[in-house]
Structure 1
Amino acid sequence: MKIGFIGAGKVGTSFGIYLKNQGFEIYGYFSKTFSSAEKSAKLTGSKAVLDETDLVKSTDILFITTSDDAITKVCDDLVERNVLSEGKILVHMSGASSSNILKRAKKSGCFIYSMHPLQAFADIEKAVDDLKGTYFSIEGDKEKLHVLEDMLKKLGNPYFKLTAEQKSIYHVTACVVSNYLVTLMDYGLYLFDTIGIDKREGYKALLPLIEGTIKNINGLGTKDALTGPIVRGDVGTVKKHIEELKNLEHLGTVKQNIGVLDFYKIMGVKTLELAKKKDENKDFEELKNILKEVE
């Protein structure tokens, strides 16, 4: 089974290396810039091609690993050039979209799928290593879905089978726990910065707390891992937090559309909802009123 990639960025290159390391045959890469295709081809022991036609005709599975916005255009271009053959397996690796964005290829007799690794691809070497324990999602035509399942089983990766309708919520979840976690960290480090603690040094100081929290979530689940003043019902501490954040805003240090106090309250309300699940008998009404109070 020969595999080809249109798109030689971090995702396509990392996944290609990972496949090659596990014994799969990578035929080659096509990219907007030939130098990118050459680089990925060298790393995977494959070839760089100047024309997608060669790639399409010489492979059994074709992965489109371009930017999300370019996937449909790439697919439509292949259809319009009449280079797709009946029975070809066409897979995109976007987490945001279902296989439906390849629907024109389906009309050409192709089987269409989305396959998404639930991890970040900031660095190729780290991504390849991380792929060993990564969950995937797969979604698309029933006829050849077993081919992708067999691939993931050979790789040793666990996976979810989704419907096209489920793909958006799947991606929302990934964005919240990954992208929004970065934003949450930036918020906390900003607060450290206001009292003179360097953000890099602050991160090092907070890292044991972060790692401990992640371990608790893994071992106990989110509800039982929750600690802090809100779940304790510590009204005085929350009031003090709010007063301090008000002072920051009054000093004019906050330039965001949503200020540090608003952000604290939004997160506080969501945390309160979780706290109620942990202790259904505790009266959180006063905290609820404080956190929902309109300035």
Structure 2
Amino acid sequence: MTTHLHPPDPRDRPARLAVGVVGAGRVGPALAASLQLAGHRPVAVSGVSDASRRRAAELLPDVPLVTPAEVLARSELVLLTVPDDVLPGLVQGLAETGAVRPGQLLAHTSGRYGVGVLEPALRAGALPLALHPAMTFTGTAVDVQRLAGCSFGVTAPEELRLAAEALVVEMGGEPEWIEEQNRPLYHAALALGSNHLITLVAQSMELLAAAGVGAPDRMLGPLLGAALDNALRSGDAALTGPVSRGDAGTVAAHIEQLRRNAPQTLPGYLAMARATADRALAAGLLKPELAEELLGVLGEDTTDRTDGPRGTGGATGDDGEDDR
């Protein structure tokens, strides 16, 4: 007789949790959907805007939209996926209104905060976790796939460390332990590498379009992919271009063109070029005899010559939810 073996259904695993999401921005529904694939049960989600409701409907179909207090009432694991500046007040309000239950797992996804921000909930008996996915989110199903192999910055009390790491692994991620006091530095590093990269790429595409390039994205794709790969492999040794070579004349021409055609990009160009020169010099890539002239070009005061428009700061989204 032939016996057919079937893989176990994730829903048959022990200790499956009822999962709730407070804040249906781009992050929360994706994390809950990934936990659902591991056999957990999304049971409730809160959302404010039409966009958040659409995200919840797409990634968590048939999961009811309710108030934050009702999310906590139905859930054993609550994902607090709201912007950093909203998180402390949310936690305080939930604790003060008695929404937090003893023994309830409360996990936020802020990169800035560790578990200290959950202290009001901890006093109410909650079990605090900080699980920050080092990923940019689109608010679509592709985010669930991208979580495979994604690093999570994990902070939790020692007695909850294994539980926190297990949840990350179930979402397909790789836990990386971050000490409480190091969370702001950790988050600054990610913002520098990810958020600022988007600004640089967007500016580069705009300049290429202004120069007459028909498909800036197609031109930049291979170049940026190679640059990123080289940087991750080799660090400063991957530096190339006029700054690392000490081509002061070329850099001066760049500055003049940006001042004339895109003055809003000049402060960023100067700041990054100075940082690049410093790193190239320290790494021995930029010859000291060439550095003086280059730094002189970069050190010129351009404050009164850059009256172009300025960009606005990054927003958190339209609905008070984590919209990374």
Provide the TM-score with structure 1 as the length reference.
0.84
Amino acid of the structure 2 residue aligned with 1:242:
A
- Pair 1:222–1:91, CA change in 2 (3 A): same
Paired position in structure 1 for 2:236? 223
**1:241 to partner: Cα distance:** 3.2
The question of 1:239 aligning with 2:246 is answered: no
Report the Cα distance in structure 2 between the residues aligned to 1:84 and 1:113, rounded to whole angstroms. 14
CA distance in 1, matches of 2:223, 2:231: 12
* Change over 3 Å in CA distance of 1:141–1:272 after alignment to 2: same
- C-alpha distance in structure 2 between counterparts of 1:266 and 1:58, whole Å: 50
Aligned CA distance change for structure 1 residues 60 and 205 (closer, same or farther; 3 Å):
same
Aligned with 1:105 (options 102, 108, 121): 121
8 A Cα contact 2:79 2:107, kept in partner: yes
Q: Which residues in structure 2 correspond to 1:66-215 (within 5 Å)?
A: 66-198=82-214, 201-215=215-229
Alignment of 1:31-42 (within 5 A): 31-32=47-48, 40=56
Q: How does 1:18-57 map to 2 (within 5 A)?
A: 18-32=34-48, 40=56, 43-44=59-60, 47-57=63-73
The alpha-carbon deviation at position 161 of structure 1 amounts to: 1.3
Q: Evaluate the alpha carbon distance shift between residue 46 and residue 163 of structure 1 in structure 2; reply closer, same or farther with a 3 A threshold.
A: farther
Q: Which amino acid aligns with 2:284?
A: D
Q: Report the RMSD for the aligned CA atoms in angstroms.
A: 2.7
- Gap regions ≥5 residues in structure 1: none
Find the partner of 1:286 among 262, 283, 293.
293
Bigger relative CO (Cα 8 Å, ≥ 6 apart)? 2
Q: Closer, same or farther in 2 for the Cα pair 1:75/1:281, shift >3 Å?
A: closer
Structure 2 residues not aligned, in runs of 5+? 1-16, 303-324
Q: CA separation in 2, counterparts of 1:57 and 1:247?
A: 59
Give the match for residue 320 of structure 2.
Answer: none
Equivalent-residue separation in structure 2 for 1:72 and 1:176 (angstroms): 24
Cα offsets for 1:167-226 (capped at 9, x unmatched): 11111111111111122123323332443335xx1221121111111221233x222211
1:264 aligns with 2:269: yes
| Preserved CA contact (<8 Å) 1:20 1:44 | no
The 8 Å contact of residues 10 and 124 in structure 1, kept in 2 or not, is answered as yes
Cα deviation, residue 38, structure 1:
8.4
- Partners of 2:285 and 2:237 lie apart in 1 by 13
Deviation track 1:32-55 (CA, whole Å, cap 9, x = no partner) reads: 469956862674366315344443
Indicate the SS of the match to 2:91: helix
Residues 18 and 76, structure 2, Cα contact 8 Å, conserved in 1: yes
How far residue 255 of structure 1 moved from its aligned partner, in angstroms, is 4.9
Shift in alpha-carbon separation, 1:177–1:70, aligned structure 2, 3 A: same
Please tell me whether the aligned partners of residues 26 and 55 of structure 2 are also in contact (alpha carbons under 8 angstroms): no
Matched to 2:256, the amino acid is K
Structure with the larger helix share: 1
SS in 1 for 2:111: coil
SS at match of 1:95: coil
Q: Percent identity?
A: 23
